[in-house]
A and B are shown apart, each in its own frame.
Chain A
Amino acid sequence: MATRHKPIEYHGKNIEFPYENPAEEVIDDEYLHEHLAKPTTERTKRLKARCRWKHCAAGEFVDNSVRAGMERMRYWTEGHKASDGNKDVIKRAICLQTFLEKCTVILQEDEKIIGYHAEEPTMVPLYPELSFLATQDYIQNSRYAPQPVEEAKEINEYWKKHSLLSKCMPYFEPYELERMYRWASMEAPAFATGFNSIVPPYETVAEDGLLKRIELAQEQINKAKAELAAPHWNAPERLPLLEKIDLWSAMIMADKAVISWARRHARLCRIVAESFETDPARREELLEMAEISQRIPAEPCQGLWDCMQMKWYVYLMCHAIERYASGFAHKEDKLCWPYYKASVIDKTFQPMTHKDAVELFECERLKCSEHGAGKSRVNREIFPGSNDLFILTIGGLNRDGSDGCNDCTDAILEAARNIRTTEPSIVFRWNPKGRLKTKRLVFECIRDGMGFPSIKNDALNAHQMLYYARFSQNNNGATPEEAHDWANVLCMSPGLVGRRKTQKTRSEGGGSIFPAKILEITLNDGYDWSYSDTQLGPHTGDPRTFDTFEKLWEAFRVQYEYTVSISIRAKDVSRYWEARMLQLPFVSSIDDGCMELGRDACDLSEQPNGWHNPITTVVAANSLVAIKKLIYDEKKYTMDQMLDALYANWEGYEEMRRDFVNAPKWGNDDEYADAIIKKFYEDIIAGEMRKITNYSGGPVMPVGQAVGLYMEVGSRTGPTPDGRYGGEACDDGGISPYMGTDKKGPTAVLKSVSKVDSTTQKANLLNQRLSVPIMRSKHGFKIWLAYMNTWYDLNIDHVQFNCVSNAELLAAQREPEKHQDLIVRVSGFSARFVDISKYGQDTIIARNEQDFGAEDFDFINVSAEELV
């Protein structure tokens, strides 16, 4: 039987919580989620049953059949060698062209959306030109190594001297590289890991088609050549045109290659229809798919099926073929709406029902689920239970300020709720104007335990786009209308979407630093005694000599500033070389700014969007609170005593540890703790970071979050003064209370979080866990909606929810095979629970399950009458 929430006395009324769906009352708590998947059609049911998941656990692919492919590295290298002597941007186009001409293309049974990026659907491609270190890791692994392995070794050796890493390394001292590679106080630089993210301008391909983009590039070349040949030669004005002509030429080569590659898919569909398929209905469908890939992405999209296929081809190009990049950033409901309208409402092209549209979105979710990212081991480790950071955005407002929710938004949410896959995650932009019908679907996805949509404050983030626009180096940042066109670039940080001004590389925003470790080394004069045995930061003095808390505060500031500066320097050095040797002819061709100005996507920045992710901030903040209270204010212990206890991992210091554990903690609306922590976020975490100016000329702002790094870095962080043992996980979100320490209910958390001025941060992740019996009760939606409206009124940036009981999580630990559909929110992404290590699973179980009481109902303004 399901657990029903006990009645609550509220304003003299006894509120009962029967289940909204009475049939659920007989389902055992331990098996609830196995009853929730309802694929919309028989096709998506079959596709899910045969999905070739590429989830990782502890850095390894869960499915034993996954291995690295050879074609991407082989043909890319072949192109690189053959193009010797050409300008770099042309070389990049030739590499792309060579791969697309020679690669294997794949069609799978039942698929409606086609395309893959390796020679077998079980394979992941490799990118030695980005990181020969990551490639080496695959080669050394007998389970994954691309075959023949000798050829792979030879190719990887070739790239050592041509790689981004080799270009960037000379600008750093060996000790600086060592500090970065430790992954202890900061993330290793992307020039070593090859990790990247991008926001493709899908809109130009949907609206123009690539043939039009080729035409535009040719016009630019013609104009430039005419200018070169004009009377009165002027070298300073005209010589820069040479590079532009090269780029436009490379764009044309890239776009032609992509069209031809898509048409190879068209041919494959036709051949299978005519020579292999026996089912007449599927044969017809394959011929229709052939017709789509013949037209798309060459021509503008006309219907929803066109748009979905276009998106997948462009996704593969931008995220998996021209360069690896994580993410799935786009405002999906806005992008697809004209085509949804044409197909579902007006029925003028590819006529279909709403249910057919939902099926298409389910098909897309399954394509994402079986996509394989050939990323480095560490980047597989930090996203346990998932394959990659697929995150799309919906909701919010349109450019004219009207509600951005539409029937297409609903189809996307229905698909997510029905098919139940971890990818892609969804971000919902919460605005008071958002229609109730759509918010109800958002609720249903959350209530059903998907962990998404994660919710972002729409107005706050649109305002942020305008703030960054002020720093645009060509005075062409977001306009007030364009500021409404934003989506999360990855888990948390917003960025523009649309035909231009989108973020093209992670060297603009992304990458992490770890305040808990930074505090640990601050307490040890910059030295990391517990993990790397290395001087990780500058010498800031022996903390025993700090006679005031302010001196410790300032020492932390120095360590933090050092870590931020070197991290952003590494990103900008990467950017410098990305623009010179990792040009993106295809991405450039689909960006209106690159096309107009003749500048490569890695080079051009119209809208600055600088950010970096402090991860483990709350462990550091709670530790500072405990130090101030127990050492400086109450003087119950000396710094010396505390350090001795930490070096002993609290062993033999149990009573002292109890005091540090019981010191005030973040998330309880505690004035003492919150005042210190607010200052910590605003003065140091944001204050120091915002003093940096990055490649784009704008400030870098903090995006507090965690992904799986709160576990990974927790294991590398020694004992901390918040009472945490060495090696234990850190906090699971940028501004989330530490697991189990938020003891005053859900609204106390909101009150604490709202004290930090959201406009000082770029984003801050708030993880909350809600009671299943409340959420599934007949009052669930009313209570959640009131909570969300309060959250919005408090001007908080973000919130995401787990809604799964401990009974079910513990049952899944005991019998994982019976809980394959159990999904949890880790932090910024959702994961299949049974694919997470026990260490990680336990951190989710330890999170406080927030229950609502009468005081909470009062604070969120739910009347007793509404609940009767």
Chain B
Amino acid sequence: MATCAQCKSFFPVPENADDFAPGKGDCVREVKDEKGKYWLSKPVVSDMDTSKCPFFSEKV
């Protein structure tokens, strides 16, 4: 089972952040539509199952 931690969109929350929790990260995705580019950041946990995530892309 692939997890969020293995995804290239996963960025761990630094330990000195207000919202730090072990395993917590930001899922940051770049989106492009006819109006331009934007980035979305959503809180996730490193061991979350990604089997239903359409955006999973393994880190290389």
Chain A residue at smallest Cβ distance from B43:
A102
CA distance A600 to B19 in the complex (A): 27
Q: Residue of A at shortest CB range from B28?
A: A271
Which residues 1-60 of B sit at the A interface, judged by CB distance below 8 A?
11, 13-14, 17-19, 26, 28, 30, 35-43
The answer to whether B38 touches A271, judged by C-beta atoms less than 8 angstroms apart, is no
Q: Which A residues lie within 8 Å of B42 (CB)?
A: 104, 119
Tell me the interface secondary structure of chain B in the complex: strand
The CA of A102 and the CA of B38, in the complex, are separated in Å by: 19
Q: How far is the CA of A106 from the CA of B39 in the complex (A)?
A: 6
- Which chain A positions have C-beta within 8 A of B19? 101, 260, 263-264
Question: A105 and B35: CB pair below 8 A?
Answer: no
Alpha-carbon separation in the docked complex, A260 to B43 (Å)? 12
B13 near A108 with CB under 8 A, answer no
A50 B28 Cβ-Cβ under 8 A = no
State whether A268 touches B41 (Cβ < 8 A): yes
B18 touches A104 (CB 8 A): no
CB distance from A186 to the nearest CB of B (A): 40
Name the contact of B26 in the complex, choosing from A52, A256, A264 (C-beta under 8 A). A264
Chain A stretch 93-124: residues in CB contact (< 8 A) with chain B: 101-102, 104-110, 119-121
Contact between chains at A259 and B18 (CB < 8 Å): yes
How many Å lie between the Cα of A51 and that of B38 in the bound state?
A: 12
Q: Is A499 an interface residue (CB 8 A)?
A: no
Q: Name the B residues within 8 Å of A119 (CB-CB).
A: 40, 42
Check if B43 sits within 8 Å of A107, measured CB to CB: no
Please provide the chain A residues from 252 to 280 with a CB less than 8 Å away from any CB of chain B in the complex. 256, 259-260, 263-264, 267-268, 271-272, 275-276
Q: Could you say which residues of chain B place their CB within 8 Å of the CB of A268?
A: 26, 28, 39, 41
Contact residues on A (Cβ < 8 Å of other chain), bracket:
20 to 34
Interface centre among B38, B42, B43 (most CB of A within 10 A): B38
Report the Cα distance A57→B31, complex, angstroms: 28
A107 near B11 with CB under 8 A, answer no
Chain B: minimal CB distance from A604 (Å): 29
> Which residue in A105, A109, A271 is a CB contact (below 8 Å) of B37?
A109
The minimal Cβ–Cβ distance linking A288 to chain B, given in whole angstroms, is 17
Q: Which residue of A lies closest to B14 (CB)?
A: A267
Question: Which chain A positions have C-beta within 8 A of B17?
Answer: 260, 263, 267
Of the candidates A121, A256, A267, A272, the one whose C-beta lies within 8 Å of that of B13 is: A267
Q: In the bound complex, what is the Cα–Cα distance between A106 and B38 (angstroms)? A: 7
CA distance A267 to B37 in the complex (A): 18
* Given known A256-B18, A263-B17, contact A271–B26 (CB-CB < 8 A): yes
Name A104's contact: one of B11, B13, B35, B40 (CB within 8 Å): B40
Q: How far is the CA of A276 from the CA of B32 in the complex (A)?
A: 13
Question: From residue A54, how far is it (CB to closest CB) to chain B in Å?
Answer: 13
User: Nearest Cβ in chain A — how far from B57, in angstroms?
Assistant: 13
Nearest-neighbour CB distance to chain B for A369, whole angstroms, equals 13
Residues of A with C-beta under 8 A to B35? 50-52, 121
Interface pair B36/A106, CB less than 8 Å apart: no
Bound-state CA distance A109–B37 (Å) is 6
Q: Chain B contacts of A121 at CB under 8 A? A: 35, 38
Chain B, residue nearest A71 (CB): B42
Q: Judge whether A264 and B36 touch: CB under 8 Å.
A: no
A267 to B11, CA, bound (A): 10
A109-B37, A121-B38, A264-B19 given; A272·B28 CB < 8 A: yes
User: What separation, in Å, do the CA atoms of A121 and B35 have in the docked complex?
Assistant: 10
Instruction: Report how far A268 CA is from B18 CA in the complex, Å.
Output: 14
Q: How far is the CB of A608 from chain B (nearest CB, A)?
A: 39
Q: Give the nearest-CB partner of A256 in chain B.
A: B18
Shortest CB-to-CB span from B54 to chain A, Å, is 14
Q: Are B30 and A105 in contact (CB under 8 A)?
A: no
Q: What B residues does A271 contact at CB under 8 A? A: 11, 26, 28, 39, 41
Question: Residues of A contacting B14 with CB < 8 Å?
Answer: 267
- Whether A107 lies near B38 (C-beta < 8 A) is yes
B30 CB contact (under 8 Å) in A259, A263, A267, A276 = A276
Cβ distance A108 to chain B, nearest Cβ, rounded Å:
4
Chain B, Cβ-Cβ closest to A259: B18
For residue B18, which residues in chain A have a CB less than 8 angstroms away from its CB?
A: 256, 259-260, 263
Which single residue of chain A is at the shortest CB-CB distance from B11? A271
What's the Cα separation between A105 and B18 when bound, in Å?
16
Alpha-carbon distance A283/B30, docked complex (angstroms): 15
A729 to B60: give the CA distance in the assembly, Å: 64
A106 to B28, CA, bound (A): 9
> Are B38 and A267 closer than 8 Å at their CB atoms?
no
> Chain B residues near A50 (CB, 8 Å)?
35-36
Given contacts A101-B19, A260-B18, A260-B19, contact A267 B39 (CB under 8 A): no
Give Cα A260–Cα B13 distance, bound, in whole angstroms: 12
Contact with A101, one of B28, B30, B36, B43 (Cβ below 8 angstroms) = B43
CA distance A728 to B30 in the complex (A): 50
Q: How far is the CA of A119 from the CA of B40 in the complex (A)?
A: 8
Interface contact B40-A272, CB-CB below 8 Å: no
Question: How far, in whole Å, are A271 and B40 apart by their CA atoms in the complex?
Answer: 11
Q: How far is the CA of A105 from the CA of B43 in the complex (A)?
A: 9
Across-interface contacts of B36 in A (CB, < 8 A): 50, 108-110
Q: Please give, as numbers and ranges, the residues of chain B lying within 8 Å of A101 by CB-CB distance.
A: 19, 43
Contacting residues, chain B, for A263 (C-beta < 8 A)? 17-19
Q: Which residue of A lies closest to B27 (CB)?
A: A104
Report the minimal beta-carbon distance from A462 to chain B, rounded to whole angstroms: 42
Q: State in angstroms the CA–CA spacing of A275 and B28 once bound together.
A: 10
Are B39 and A272 in touch, CB under 8 angstroms? yes
Taking CB atoms, residues of chain B closer than 8 Å to A51 are: 35
Closest to B30 in A: A276
Chain B residues with CB below 8 A from A104, complex form: 40-42
Which residues in B have their C-beta under 8 angstroms from that of A105?
40-41
The residue in chain A whose Cβ has the minimal distance to the Cβ of B35 is: A50
Q: Which residues of A contact B28 (CB under 8 A)?
A: 268, 271-272, 275-276
- A101–B44 Cα distance when bound, in Å, is 11
A344 smallest CB distance to B (angstroms): 29
Chain B hits for A267, CB < 8 A = 11, 13-14, 17, 26, 41
B50 to chain A, nearest CB (A): 17
Q: What's the Cα separation between A275 and B59 when bound, in Å?
A: 13
Q: Which residues of B contact A272 (CB under 8 A)?
A: 28, 30, 39
State the Cβ distance, A641 to closest chain B Cβ, in Å.
60
CB distance from A314 to the nearest CB of B (A): 18
Point out the residues of chain B lying under 8 angstroms from A108, CB to CB: 36-39
Considering the complex, give the chain B residue whose CB is closest to the CB of A260. B18
Across the interface, which residues of A come within 8 angstroms of B43, CB to CB?
Answer: 101-102, 264
User: In the complex, what distance in Å separates the CA atom of A121 from the CA atom of B36?
Assistant: 11
Q: What is the bound-complex CA distance between A272 and B28, given in angstroms?
A: 8
A47 (CB) vs chain B CBs: closest residue = B36
B28 vs chain A, min Cβ distance (A): 5
Residues of B within 8 A of A275 (CB): 11, 28
In the assembled complex, how far is the CB of residue A542 from the closest CB belonging to chain B, in whole angstroms? 61
Give the distance to chain B from A151, nearest Cβ to Cβ, in Å: 16
Q: A264 to B44, alpha carbons, bound, how many Å?
A: 13
A276 CA / B30 CA spacing, docked (Å): 8
CA distance A108 to B35 in the complex (A): 10
Residues of A within 8 A of B37 (CB): 108-109
Query: In the complex, which residues of chain B have a beta carbon less than 8 angstroms from the beta carbon of A102?
Result: 43
Counting chain A CB atoms within 10 Å of each CB, the highest count among B11, B13, B14, B36 belongs to B36
Q: Which residue of A lies closest to B37 (CB)?
A: A109
Among residues 34 to 61 in chain A, which have CB atoms less than 8 Å away from a CB atom of chain B?
A: 50-52
Interfacial residues of chain A within 67-110, with CB under 8 A of chain B in the complex:
101-102, 104-110
Whole-angstrom CA separation of A272 from B43 in the bound complex: 16
Which positions in A face B, CB cutoff 8 Å?
Answer: 50-52, 101-102, 104-110, 119-121, 256, 259-260, 263-264, 267-268, 271-272, 275-276
Extra inter-chain contacts (6) besides given A102-B43, A108-B36, A268-B28, CB under 8 Å: A105-B40, A106-B39, A109-B37, A260-B18, A264-B19, A264-B26
The 8 closest A-B pairs by CB, nearest first: A260-B18, A108-B38, A268-B41, A109-B37, A50-B35, A109-B36, A50-B36, A107-B39
> What are 13 contact pairs spanning A and B, CB under 8 A?
A50-B36, A102-B43, A105-B40, A107-B41, A108-B38, A110-B36, A119-B40, A119-B42, A263-B17, A263-B19, A264-B41, A267-B11, A271-B41
